[in-house]
Structure 1
Amino acid sequence: MNFYSSLITQCAHTKSLTTLRAVHAHVISSGFSYCLLGHKLIDGYIKCGSVAEARKLFDEMPERHIVTWNSMISAHVSHGKSKQAVELYGNMLVEGVLPDAYTFSAIFKAFSELGLVRYGRRAHGLAVVLGLEVLDVFVASALVDMYAKFDRMRDAHLVFDRVLEKDVVLFTALIAGYAQQGLDGEALEVFREMVDRRVKPNEYTLASTLASCGNLVDSINGKLIHGFIVKSGLESFVASQTSLLTMYSRCNMVEDSVKVFNQLAYASHVTWTSFVVGLVQNGREEVAVSVFREMIRCSVSPNPFTLSSILQACSSLAMLEVGEQIHAITTKLGMEGNKYAGAALINLYGKCGNVDKARSVFDVLTELDLVSVNSMIYAYAQNGFGYEALQLFKRIKKLGLAPNGVTFISILLACNNAGLVEEGCQLFAFMKNNHNIELTREHFTCMIDLLGRSKRFEEAAMLIKEVTNPDVVLWRTLLNACRIHGEIEMAEKIMRKVLQLAPGDGGTHILLTNLYASAGKWNQVIEMKTTIRDLKLKKSPAMSWVDVDRGVHTFMAGDMSHPRAHEIFDMLHELIEKVKTLGYSPDTRFVLQDLHEEKKMSSLYYHSEKLAIAFALWKTCGRTTAIRIFKNLRVCGDCHSWIKFVTLLTGRDIIARDSKRFHHFKGGLCSCKDYW
């Protein structure tokens, strides 16, 4: 028997399932009883990864020891078969076998994973009867973990309090439970108690505590724990590294995060991902892209979360070319169909104005979830594809999904950008009548913008009154619509409302100043500018930028600072003269200064978007690819008209993203149909 026992041990150690099966067959043919070698064989099958064969042998055994029951229950839990583990536990009790500490530690985990609160409490009662709850810290830790996952932190703390000899595992279970439930202050209190009792924390304790420090933006305690990690020699552990990086990024201490990362002797893919995510969350997108490149050079394979984060950085920077390279990496790693990476790719292409590419990514997703669908609807919305957005919205129910608040914001924005007023009104009415949908200020803002831009000012004003405590954003949205349509009288009424809520609101003063200027009311313009100066308000200068041959070039109105300014202005003058022959006529209504007519025309010629396009056409002469420009403010109406003529003249498509949306110019037309 010792011979067979040694063979089984060797098979388990080397995970040789085929050899173990042969040994098993030989044991049967030799007439050995399962009572002698049954547990050893079951343990061997479990260690070789064949829980099914272990279970088959277990069911054939006439007598089963508590150790064998524990092995089977634990194996099923660790292999994600908690339901079968609970069934085994029930059979064990029926057969009169009393559970021990190892049984409870495994079965409590199964109950928590299945959400079986009643069963968990019943097993807890049995543990109390058997005297294991207070005396065995192993069982108490499993109980605390179970109650935490049931979101019953009061019960978890009661169990914790009854244990006399508390160890690091028990403290860690309670701290992690509070952290996971968002009770970060309580987690730190338990950690302080742990320190007071001189119980030495491990890397998992510190990881949970650092997570709570990050959530509370508590950099003081975070730094103290960092010091403890260094003194304890735990810096090399992945959990410590990841938690430190996450804590510093959540506390907006990016430089400290960089120091931690640079001091690492080895960084796992989890650590790289935490670092990249932290940089993106803190607006350091360009640094994140550099770090990601270094990660690839170090042959560290990114996971879907890394890819989704770095693609988010590319979206924010509108770095289409870099995004396409990351898309290629995603495809190479076989993750293009992953819902996280897929949603990020859809978002990237949507924000870079390539809706067709966004849709092609959407169509190959292996698992459609609401995030992916929302990303696609938003991509359509940004680019003015209102009907396509509505078609996808109608498919949501067929996909077995329920639209949420983000879905409705995206579809209302799609109606807004495409001028689908009635469709937007119908959707909003549906939302108001559906008690399962919570209307937010964002929904009202979209609807007010839609009504205002279609000159339905009274309806928009009535809608604002439906909002409890309407804020500045709602009124300013309607004010912007008044500016677009030159509605001075209503704009003045709205301004009085806004200034009651926020007397020093700069955006409102600037909007009304522009409205007066476009209407030629220069006395009012002077008054408004005096007020703006007295309030020390600053207006953001209009800027446009274009990415050509991996270089970003930024322009302001009349900008002569570019090293190739001479060539740019020559190209611009040539374009202006040629498009005039096609019917372009400068629209001086968009000059917001009191100038002579000739100077107004000259002023229009040197707007930032015109300079960016002239540079791109000069730099890419002879190419046929689309030109992509970006502007921080709304595209000027005269520039909008001029760009249409330029596409007709040059045969080049121009894609322009302003503060509101994308405009796709092609063959003398714009995708917005002059509604924006």
Structure 2
Amino acid sequence: MSQQQQVVALLHRSIRSLRSLQQLHAYLLKSGLDSHQLPLSRLLLLLLTSSSSLSYACSIYRHSRTRNLFMANTIIRGHSQSDNPHVAVLVYMDLLKQGGQGNNFTFPPLIKASVRSDPAGKLGRQVHAHVVVSGAVNDSDVFVRSALVQMYSSNLDMAAARKLFDGSSARDVVLWTAMIDGYARNNDIVAARQLFDEMPERTTVSWSAMIAGYVRVGMFMEALGLFQRMQFVGTEPNESIVVSVLSACAHLGALAQGRWLHAYIARMGMEPNVFIGTALIDMYSKCGCIDQALLVFEGMLEKDVKSWNCIITALAMNGDARRALEFFSDMQKSGVRPNNVTFIAVLSSCAHAGLVEDGCHCFDLMVNVYQIDAKPEHYACMVDLLGRAGYLNEAEKFANASAQPDINIWGALLGACRIHGKVEIGDRVRKRMAQFGMNDCGSRVLLYNLYKSAGWLADANSVRKSIDDKGLTKVPGCSFIEVNGKIQEFLAGNSLHPCSTETLEMLEIMARTLIMEGG
């Protein structure tokens, strides 16, 4: 075995240790093997795929005397997934200046980097033009076409994406899936399903794209039905599918199906990682099983900010504000930095429990300690907190302090005025909302009730007349619950009625399976 081959073999055995890779790099420099492309290329690849040390890999690439296309592609791919994707474009431009040219391994990550660098799509279109003019890639290359389809989909240009798809002479499952995912991400679920049904073959990723599309547009019953169909044809779910289906169960309140899926995850030996764990917490909490959600959380080996946010929100949603604050404190002690979503959950919890002092402290902590810019959602929580507690003047000051007019902020203040009968402040809120064009039906109903209860009958009748003249109606609340293994849907003010769909039959099978398995 040659010296080069020995080093390459050592590189493969050292993939788990950055220190070992650095020692081998030093050996390459000392022995002069850094002038050989094979060991240096392998070193770069392992640094990016195993150690995620992009800056170290880039330093090696910059100082290399024998750069090749494989090395350039490795660096481009690394930057396309980094926080600085525009560097991938600069690396490619440098490659062109040196007389090099890309290939079918260069352009997919380069296109991805261009989309992340310029969401408006101008840079991506320039890369597309370069691909065509350079002639470096065959027109039928499905990986490049798939990347271009994803690029145009992200820019909401589905006509261009479809033109690429229809013009391809070699459509494989990757290209089909990219097109389906594009339609789904642009909420054209009908076109996505039509294409999905036309696919000559499907992979797990194809099923995942379609199921996630249904969840994205709120078609949760259809998502569960497609998941059941996927099982019938013998396709094993991946992590993405499990998370999507758990999300559908959470929104439907389908506890039996969610528990069945939890048991299925365990039975299949799937890794209960942070994504699946967080989805399980969300499902159990929205189904009212907060104790089970806590068990899942405590059993997670790894917890990120989303996991903490989910359990804090779960406790807040189930009325346990004090415990939500305790978990918020534990989160900080664990070294996980809270984000703006964390504080929305905490402030909302304080508002519903009337914990004014704790809420004000958390808001101050967010702005002055963690230096998180307060968004309209945070102001709405504070207005709700102060307004519910009767501090209407302070709540109005918070509403006026928000830089962005938001109906949730003024709506929260208007609701507090209705609770406490503060018609003068409510009248000022009406004027502010009219100034920002925020007079929706719900706000007008609140105003009508406020004016009427205060004896301002002329104002109340004026608001009522505006509702009738504009033909405004409140959208009725809609909920799903589970009764004897069946998903039931009901509207506010209506009696319970079952969802008589083909999907329901599939859900019943899942529920019966759970019962038979003793779940």
Same fold (TM over 0.5): yes
Check if 1:552 corresponds to 2:488.
yes
Other-structure match for 1:327: 262
Deviations 1:638-672 (A, max 9, x none): xxxxxxxxxxxxxxxxxxxxxxxxxxxxxxxxxxx
Q: Deviations over 1:288-317 (max 9, x none)?
A: 110111122223222332111111112222
Residues 114, 124 of structure 2: 8 Å contact kept:
yes
Following the alignment from structure 1 to structure 2, what is the Cα–Cα distance between the partners of residues 263 and 249? 15
Alignment of 1:140-179 (within 5 A): 140-146=72-78, 148=80, 151=84, 152-162=87-97, 163-179=99-115
> Which residue does the alignment assign to 1:265?
200
Q: 1:444 aligns with which of 379, 382, 386?
A: 379
For residue 476 of structure 1, what is the aligned residue in structure 2? 411
What's the counterpart of residue 66 of structure 1?
Answer: 4
Contact kept, 8 Å, 1:140 with 1:159, in 2: the verdict is no
| From 114, 124, 127, the counterpart of 2:62 | 124
CA distance in 1, matches of 2:438, 2:487: 42
The one of 428, 436, 440 equivalent to 2:363 is 428
TM-score of the two chains, using structure 2 as the length reference = 0.85
CA distance in 2, matches of 1:264, 1:435: 49
Matched, 1:361 2:296: yes
Q: For the Cα contact (< 8 Å) 1:179–1:211, is it kept in 2?
A: no
SS of the residue 1:266 aligns to? coil
Shift of 1:224: 1.5
Distance 1:334 1:562, change over 3 A: closer
Q: Which consecutive unaligned segments of at least 5 residues does structure 2 have? A: 499-519
Q: Which string of whole-angstrom CA distances, capped at 9 and with x for unpartnered residues, describes residues 567-588 of structure 1?
A: xxxxxxxxxxxxxxxxxxxxxx
Question: How many angstroms apart in 2 are the aligned matches of 1:553 and 1:174?
Answer: 47
User: 2:148 and 2:38 mapped to 1: Cα distance?
Assistant: 28
| CA distance in 2: counterparts of 1:325 and 1:561, whole angstroms | 25
Separation of aligned partners in 2, 1:272 and 1:560: 35
Paired AA for residue 95 in structure 1:
S
Superposed, which structure 2 residues align to 1:441-520 within 5 Å?
Answer: 441-502=376-437, 504-519=439-454
Q: Which shifted more, 209-218 or 152-161?
A: 152-161
Shift of 1:363: 2.3
Deviation at 1:203, TM superposition (A): 2.9
CA distance in 2, matches of 1:297, 1:447: 49
| 1:462-491 C-alpha deviation (Å, 9 max, x unpaired) | 122322244333122100111122222221
Q: Which residue of 2 aligns with 1:200?
A: 138
| 2:205 matches 1:276 | no
Using a 3 Å threshold, how does the CA distance of structure 1 residues 207 and 369 change in structure 2: closer, same or farther? same
Question: Equivalent residues in 2 for 1:564-579 (5 A)?
Answer: none
Change (3 A) 1:200 1:76: farther
More relative contact order in 1 or in 2 (CA 8 Å, sep 6+)? 2
Equivalent position SS for 2:138:
coil
Q: For the structure 1 residues 279 and 485, does the alpha-carbon distance in structure 2 shift closer, same or farther, using more than 3 Å as the test? A: same
Residue aligned with 1:554, SS: strand
Structure 2 Cα separation of the partners of residues 170 and 429 of structure 1? 48
Counterpart CA distance in 2 for 1:225 and 1:374 is: 41
Same amino acid, percent of matched pairs:
27
**Aligned-partner Cα distance in 2 for 1:85–1:258:** 47
Q: 1:235 aligns with which of 162, 172, 195?
A: 172
1:275-354 residue pairs with structure 2 within 5 A?
Answer: 275-335=210-270, 337-354=272-289
Report the Cα distance in structure 2 between the residues aligned to 1:168 and 1:336, rounded to whole angstroms: 34
1:187 equivalent in alignment to 2:124: yes
Q: Which of 155, 162, 167 is the equivalent residue of 1:216?
A: 155
Change beyond 3 A, Cα 1:85–1:99: farther
Q: 1:149 to 1:556 in 2, by over 3 A?
A: closer
Tell me which moved more, 320-329 or 437-446: 320-329
Structure 1 gap ranges (5+): 1-38, 40-63, 564-676
CA 1:111/1:544 → structure 2, altered by over 3 Å: closer, same or farther? Answer: closer
Confirm or deny: 8 A CA contact 2:80 2:113 kept in the other structure. Answer: yes
Is 1:248 the counterpart of 2:183? The answer is yes
Provide the C-alpha distance between the structure 2 equivalents of 1:213 and 1:401, rounded to a whole number of angstroms. 36
Helix, strand or coil at the partner of 2:488: strand
**How has the CA–CA distance of structure 1 residues 525 and 336 changed in structure 2, closer, same or farther, with 3 Å as cutoff?**
farther
Structure 1 residue 165: deviation in Å? 4.5
Structure 2 letter corresponding to 1:205: V
- 8 A Cα contact 1:144 1:156, kept in partner: yes
User: After alignment, is 382-391 or 202-211 more displaced?
Assistant: 202-211
User: For residues 169 and 545 of structure 1, do their structure 2 counterparts lie closer, same or farther at Cα, with a shift above 3 Å needed?
Assistant: closer
Q: Does 1:107 align with 2:43?
A: yes
**Matched-pair contact (CA < 8 Å) for 1:382–1:417:** no
Aligned AA for 2:156?
A: V
Q: Pick which of 143-152 and 345-354 moved more.
A: 143-152
Residues 1:479 and 1:341: Cα distance change in structure 2 (over 3 Å): same
Residues 504 and 535, structure 1, Cα contact 8 Å, conserved in 2 = no
8 A Cα contact 1:337 1:367, kept in partner: no
SS in 2 for 1:397: helix
Q: Structure 1 residues 525, 339: closer, same or farther in 2, change over 3 A?
A: same
- Distance, in Å, in 2 between the alignment partners of 1:143 and 1:365 is 34
Match of 1:381 among 291, 300, 316: 316
Contact residue 389 and residue 411 of structure 1 kept, 8 A:
yes
CA contact (8 A) 1:464 1:474 kept: yes
Equivalent residue of 1:552, what SS? strand
What residue in structure 1 maps to residue 512 of structure 2?
none
Aligned equivalents of 1:292 and 1:182: distance in 2? Answer: 35
CA RMSD, Structure 1 to Structure 2 (Å): 2.9
Shift of 1:122: 4.9
> Which residue type is aligned with residue 283 of structure 2?
L
**In the TM superposition, what are the counterparts of 1:4-153 in structure 2 within 5 Å?**
39=1, 64-73=2-11, 75-76=12-13, 79-81=15-17, 83-112=19-48, 114-117=52-55, 120-127=58-65, 130=66, 133=67, 136-146=68-78, 148=80, 151=84, 152-153=87-88
Greater Rg, structure 1 or structure 2? 1
Residues 118 and 268 of structure 1, relative CA distance in 2, 3 Å threshold: closer
Secondary structure of the structure 2 residue equivalent to 1:437: coil
* Residues 363, 524 of structure 1: alpha-carbon distance in 2 compared, 3 angstrom cutoff: same
Give the direction of change, closer, same or farther, for the CA distance of 1:517–1:408 in structure 2 (3 Å limit). Answer: same
- Judged with a 3 Å threshold, the aligned counterparts in structure 2 of structure 1 residues 250 and 149 are, in CA distance, closer, same or farther, namely closer
Q: Does residue 410 in structure 1 map to residue 349 in structure 2? A: no
CA shift, 1:93, in A, is: 2.2
- For residues 353 and 522 of structure 1, do their structure 2 counterparts lie closer, same or farther at Cα, with a shift above 3 Å needed? farther
| CA–CA separation in structure 1 for the residues paired with 2:260 and 2:156 | 35
* Count of aligned pairs between the two proteins: 488
SS state at 2:106 partner: helix
Distance (Å, rounded) in 2 between the aligned partners of 1:544 and 1:308: 21
- Distance in 2 between residues matched to 1:514 and 1:507, nearest whole Å: 11
Code of the aligned partner of 1:304: E
Superposed CA deviations along residues 142-172 of structure 1, whole A, max 9, x for unmatched, are: 4543554563235313224223554333333
Relative to structure 1, the CA distance from residue 123 to residue 160 in structure 2 (aligned partners, 3 Å threshold; closer, same or farther) is closer
